Amino acid sequence: MNEQEQTEKKESKTKTSLKEELKIIFSSSRAFWLVNLVNFAEGVAYFGILTLLTLYLGGSVGMSDAMTGVSVSTFTGLVTLFMFGGGFVSDKYGVRNALTISLLLLFGGRVLLGFAGVPAQMGSPVVGYVMSWAAIILMALGSGILQPALYAGAKEYTNPKVSAIAFSFIYAIMNLGIVFENFISPFIRTNEPFIGNIHGLGWGIMGVFLTCTAITGLVLLAHITFFTKKTEQQCRLVVINEEENKNKTWKQRFAQMPFRDMRFMWFIFILLPVQTLFAHQFLTMPDYIFRVFPAEVAAKFEWINGINPFIIVFCVPLIAMLTRNVSVFKMLIIGTSISAATTFLLVGHRPDLTLLILYVIIFSLGEAAWSSRFYEYVGDLAPAGQVGAYMGLAGLPWFLAKFTTGLYSGFMLSYFIPREGAQNPGEMWLIYALIACISPLGLLLTRKWIEGGKQQKSA
């Protein structure tokens, strides 16, 4: 992005009122809302599976704690690793085609995973392992292509004047899907009473997985039917030199990535420690609640887990609107500090449901303060037609956070909160909290250096 484009973008933001920005975003193109249809459905399906994946692999498929931790970590790590190459897919073939490819891969992988528990019940656990790992690869590849395509769609199909709100909507609508998933998942999984005499279906975790697979199939059908090539061309608001993009080789695209900008690389990698907390929400929190808290609390696990996306749905757009003129860096320092500090609520206490819920609420507010603004920052740096590639690069630290966290999370669970024997979860959370504090401290200490690089890039 050249100086003139940046100046015009800044001027457009300062001259546009919040009311006008909201009017623009809600009158966005058909393609933007079709992208968000996929976004919502994927929030339901992806997190519906991820939330219960450790329990499914450890129970239905029969994996050990260590193997489960490594398998789930491999899945989440591959998602982000594939995002790097997946970004090039959306840049080269367009958002619409990238979403089609990703949904096909996700549907196939989820069908395979839904039946991976059957061989274990028939006395062939190794077959179940192979099916699970094959499903993990397919789903990871599909998600890796899909995530950059969603954010590329946010930039291409909305007015540049409302970029901050557009990126926050992508993040919030995904979390709206998670809220929906967390509400229906216990109803599908258990036969516990929910409202009056209405009981759950009792289909188990496999039932939840197959429901998520069905949702993926339905949204794939809707996407192919309504998101046509004509719609994509008519709704694109950001000018892209398609001929120039088509003529570029993968090597040329790769060379244009900001790898040589050490400030930018430090900026995205210093977030790795606090991002381990996000990985623990699905690698550690499910077993923590099921092993430490009473059965009646575990039965409503998804509802506790659903507090986070419920807050995100409302707070991410709200905070983005109220702080749209506040620097991204300031919001990052505030948000990561809140996320790291609140983890200390789980330290030094016996398991307490009130403290657990308070932790989830405050942690979510911290996430809402900085997560979507980070994607806005990366989107601003990326030239038109290269948003997917930039988003893929920005996801590398998240890949490392998810992958490395899973390498030790299973061992930490076995040591601090084993299935049987003495448990000491407070010390485990203390270690995780201290690791997370590295991020806000590192951002604070290097703020002038990093922002100085951004100013040089703008000059």
Cβ–Cβ under 8 Å, residues 269 and 397: yes
The encoded tokens of residue 325 equal: 């003129």
Take residue 111 and report the two structure tokens written for it.
Answer: 């069908």
Please choose, from the candidates 173, 174, 176, 198, the residue with its C-alpha nearest in 3D space to the C-alpha of residue 186. 198
Distances (CA, A) of 450 to 106, 361, 376: 38, 30, 17
Rounded to the nearest 10 degrees, what angle do helices 396-416 and 272-283 cross at? 50
Ordered per-residue pLDDT tens for the chain, 459 residues: 444 444 444 444 445 566 666 666 666 678 888 888 999 999 999 989 988 898 888 888 888 878 888 888 788 778 877 887 777 787 778 888 999 999 999 999 999 998 888 887 787 888 888 999 999 999 999 998 998 888 888 777 776 666 667 777 787 888 888 888 878 888 888 877 766 677 778 888 888 899 999 999 999 999 999 998 888 777 776 555 555 555 556 566 556 665 666 777 787 788 889 988 988 887 888 889 888 888 888 877 777 877 888 888 888 878 877 777 777 788 889 999 999 999 999 987 678 888 999 999 999 999 888 876 777 777 666 665 666 667 667 777 776 777 778 778 888 988 898 888 888 888 999 999 999 999 999 999 988 887 765 555 554
pLDDT at residue 439, rounded to an integer? 93
Say how far apart CA 49 and CA 169 lie, in whole Å: 23
Query: Which pair of tokens denotes residue 123?
Result: 């006395």
How far apart are the C-alpha atoms of 135 and 212, rounded to whole Å?
A: 14
**C-alpha span between 397 and 382 (Å, rounded):** 18
How much is the CA Rg of the chain, to the nearest whole Å? 22
Name the DSSP letter for residue 190. -
Q: Give the model's pLDDT for residue 2.
A: 44
The single-letter code of the amino acid at 221 is: L
Identify the CA nearest to 316 among candidates 357, 375, 264: 375
Instruction: Please indicate, yes or no, whether the overall pTM of this predicted structure exceeds 0.75.
Output: no
Query: What is the rounded CA–CA span in Å between residue 313 and residue 368?
Result: 9
CB-based contacts of 377-384 (< 8 A; 24+ apart in sequence): 377/328, 379/151, 379/154, 379/155, 379/163, 379/167, 380/1, 380/9, 380/163, 381/1, 381/258, 381/264, 381/457, 382/1, 382/155, 383/1, 384/155, 384/156, 384/238, 384/239, 384/240, 384/241
CB burial of residue 446 (10 Å; 0-12, 13-18, 19+): middle
Domains of the chain: 18-458 (1.20.1250.20)
- Tell me what pLDDT residue 3 has: 45
Task: List the one residue out of 142, 149, 143 whose CA is nearest residue 32.
Answer: 149
Concatenating the DSSP letter of every residue in 408-431 gives HHHHHHHHHS-SSS---HHHHHHH
- Looking at residue 63, what is its pLDDT? 84
DSSP assignment of 1-31 equals: --HHHHHHHHHHHHHS-HHHHHHHHHT--HH
Q: What residues form DSSP beta bridges with 199?
A: 193
Interatomic CA distance for residues 132 and 57, integer angstroms: 8
- The amino acid occupying position 386 is Q
